[in-house]
A = this chain, B = another copy of it.
Amino acid sequence: MTSEPMSVYEAIRMRRDVRAEFTGEQISEEQLTRILEAGHAAPSVGNTQPWDFVVVQKPETLATFAEHVAGCRRDFADSLPEDRRETFDPIKVEGITESGTGIVVTYDPNRGGTHVLGRRTVDDTGVFSAVLAIQNIWLAAVAEGVGVGWVSFYEEQYLTEMMNVPEGVRPIAWLCVGPVSKFQETPDLVRFGWRAGRPLAEAVHRESF
């Protein structure tokens, strides 16, 4: 986008959950490697690095997953009261085929063996580590002029089988990743009137909740 490297704060400010702005071009291998390296540099409990990244670019696979997601989208729409369904109708929930690349992020709870340093009392710190990797990927992508859209309208078991994820390993996200025409100024769910944000002051407490 520019010749200056993007600052942390700028990337955090510009980052969007992209659905409609993918250009249809594919991310370059060099960019893909850099953003995967960024993910792999995330912190992890006990240095377990419990993530794996499955890069999906075959058009048939993208189309098959998009069809599954469309079904889950319909189920959600059907579950809504009428006024919410009308608000939901124009909202795009994925850019699976348009992005040209999916990254499926998985979590392996057995990475690191029995005695994981830091996971004894809070077991979820394992899966949380894989989520931290996702945010590194997301921000690095923004610095590359590449959009990321996290798709969560899928059945976990379906994605597990589709990607041949081994038993005991869990897929936790499908990220649509590809060049974008622009990053929207305002998040889609705010623009379409689904849900406004709340001020930071409401989220901050002092000394006690």
Q: Which residues of A contact B (CB under 8 A)?
A: 5-13, 15, 17, 34, 36-38, 40-43, 45-49, 51-58, 61, 72, 75-76, 79-81, 84, 88, 91, 93, 104, 106, 112, 115, 117-122, 124-125, 127-128, 131-132, 134-136, 138-140, 142-143, 150, 152-156, 163-166, 169, 172-173, 187, 189-190, 194-198, 200, 203-209
User: What is the CB-to-nearest-CB distance from A28 to chain B, in angstroms, rounded to a whole number?
Assistant: 15
Taking CB atoms, residues of chain B closer than 8 Å to A80 are 115
Partner of A195, one of B112, B128, B173, B198: B112
Q: A132-B134, A207-B57 are in contact. Are A43 and B118 (CB under 8 A)?
A: no
Partner of A38, one of B9, B115, B197: B9
Q: Is the CB of B115 within 8 A of A46?
A: no
A-B contact pairs, 20 of them (CB 8 A): A8-B139, A12-B41, A13-B41, A45-B152, A49-B198, A52-B203, A53-B204, A55-B206, A72-B121, A76-B115, A81-B115, A106-B209, A124-B127, A124-B172, A125-B150, A128-B128, A132-B134, A163-B208, A163-B209, A164-B209
Q: Is the CB of B72 within 8 A of A43?
A: no
Complex-state Cα separation, A152 to B126, whole angstroms: 11
Taking CB atoms, residues of chain B closer than 8 Å to A156 are 121-122
Which residue, A115, A125, A134, has most C-beta atoms of chain B within 10 A?
A115
The copy count of this chain in the complex is: 2
Taking CB atoms, residues of chain B closer than 8 Å to A136 are 12, 135, 139
Q: Is the CB of A200 within 8 A of B36?
A: yes
Complex-state Cα separation, A105 to B198, whole angstroms: 16
Q: Is the CB of A143 within 8 A of B9?
A: yes
Complex-state Cα separation, A132 to B52, whole angstroms: 18
Q: Is the CB of A117 within 8 A of B91?
A: yes
